[in-house]
Structure 1
Amino acid sequence: MRAPLFPIAGAILFPRAQLPLHIFEPRYREMVRDAVDGDGRIAIVQPQLVEVEDDRKQPIYPVGCVGEIVGLEELEDGRFNIVLNGSNRFRIISEVDLETPYRNADLDVGAFDDREPEPLGMVERAEVEREARRLGDALGLAVDWSAVSRLDDEMLVNAIAQVAPFDVSAKQALLESETLDARTDLLVQLMQFLRLSQGNSELQPTLQ
């Protein structure tokens, strides 16, 4: 499939997850208008943190997730608030020049098995919740843990992956994890590392 690319550092989208976005740049306002007039889909990707003079040539990671616009609010000054619902992860086949102010690409949306996964084991689920509580306490976050405990396994793991303050490469590794079990294992490791790194500026939860 062909879709507009929306590079956002630190923002990842998973199948069956949602991502609210505030759209203010003129080129991305046009992207939203075009998407609404078309099939309503936008490809969310992360930029690689390499300095370039022209951000239209910013290197991006080859794996992202297609988001379908399920919520749309146009503000008086032309900005948008949108909500994307993740459908499929993809690998970029190639970028295409459509003479739009935003980037576009042909995507392989069959690159991953994004069927609804099997639930986690009880031990794995408990470990995720325990490490999430520890990290939340270490960061001084106010969290409704009773609401968190009611999330299903996939939603819990993906929600933490989306909101936790991991760096771009760590978030990308979570996105690219082939299975929910693999993502869960990596998420637990990243939460433990981030918690232990609090107060030690020499430690950063980074994946190379």
Structure 2
Amino acid sequence: MFKAADLPDMLPVFPLPGALLLPRARLPLHIFEPRYLAMLDDCLKTRDRLIGMVQPLPQNDAKLHMVGCAGRVSQFSETDDGRYMITLAGVSRFRVLREESGFQAYRRCLVDWQDYDRDLGAHEQDTDFQRAGFLSLLKRYFDTQNLSTDWETLKEADDEMLINSLAMLLELQVEDKQALLEAKSLAERRAILTTLLEFSLLSGDAEDRMQ
């Protein structure tokens, strides 16, 4: 487990719209662009093996959102043609202070971790979570999107795994993903996710009435 003192001031960052990583969650990635292969090669030579996931701004992908999440490369395998399949284990969110220029092909940022000490602790609980009502809402959403899942697994998952996995896996807009990332607590993230699901269902109902 990482301690605050172990976290570096400088991070290589992987700007990927729609890709959300959260603390204590896992994100699989397919690495094939030369600059990110170079980033991974350099990352694997470090003690911490951290990569920062940051979403670029929708209007200008040259600029980054100010909050991202760092993950440790916990698994990796190389394909015959030189690509990598990796898994990032979420460690902590960070705030981007500035992007650093340099000779590397990939992007690096000076970051600050101090607002996210809680990320390094134990799993969060959501004491106000009404699971039955939330799963009912989620079932309606899945039905409208023609999605399927293992409902028994969802029923048994702990609060953090359930909410964070959905936040990461559902196809949402970049700014919606960013709001979920920046939520100050698991309860706030659950409330945001609930609102997004409700809004999607209401929007679908409105479209049906217009047709």
Scaled by the length of structure 1, the TM-score of the pair is 0.88
**Which residue identity lines up with residue 183 of structure 1 in the other structure?**
R
Q: 1:99 aligns with which of 92, 100, 103?
A: 103
Once residues 199 and 25 of structure 1 are traced to their aligned partners in structure 2, the CA distance between those partners, rounded to angstroms, is 41
**Which residue identity lines up with residue 86 of structure 2 in the other structure?**
I
- SS in structure 1 of the partner of residue 137 of structure 2: helix
Q: Deviations over 1:19-62 (max 9, x none)?
A: 000011110111111111113110000010124xxx6xx11101
The within-5 A match list for 1:57-72 is: 58-72=62-76
Structure 1: give runs of 5+ residues left out of the alignment: 202-208
Structure 2: give runs of 5+ residues left out of the alignment: 1-8
- Of Structure 1 and Structure 2, the greater helix share is in 2
Change (3 A) 1:93 1:122: closer
1:117–1:180 CA contact under 8 A, matched in 2: no
The within-5 A match list for 1:29-40 is: 29-38=37-46, 39-40=48-49
1:127–1:188 CA contact under 8 A, matched in 2: no
**Which residue identity lines up with residue 16 of structure 2 in the other structure?**
I
* Aligned counterpart, 1:45: 54
2:128–2:187 CA contact under 8 A, matched in 1: no
Once residues 80 and 200 of structure 1 are traced to their aligned partners in structure 2, the CA distance between those partners, rounded to angstroms, is 44
Q: 1:76 aligns with which of 73, 80, 88?
A: 80
The within-5 A match list for 1:163-178 is: 163-178=169-184
* Aligned counterpart, 1:23: 31
Once residues 65 and 131 of structure 2 are traced to their aligned partners in structure 1, the CA distance between those partners, rounded to angstroms, is 29
* Aligned counterpart, 2:189: 183
Q: 2:115 aligns with which of 111, 114, 117?
A: 111
- SS in structure 1 of the partner of residue 90 of structure 2: strand
Change (3 A) 1:99 1:127: farther
Q: Deviations over 1:129-152 (max 9, x none)?
A: 222211111111121100111211
Q: CA deviation at 1:117?
A: 5.1
* Aligned counterpart, 1:121: 127
Q: Deviations over 1:173-206 (max 9, x none)?
A: 01000011111111100011122323766xxxxx
1:71–1:83 CA contact under 8 A, matched in 2: yes
Q: CA RMSD in A?
A: 1.8
The within-5 A match list for 1:131-142 is: 131-142=137-148
- SS in structure 2 of the partner of residue 59 of structure 1: strand
Moved more, 9-18 or 126-135: 126-135
1:128–1:184 CA contact under 8 A, matched in 2: no
**Which residue identity lines up with residue 18 of structure 1 in the other structure?**
R
Size of the aligned set, in residue pairs, is: 197
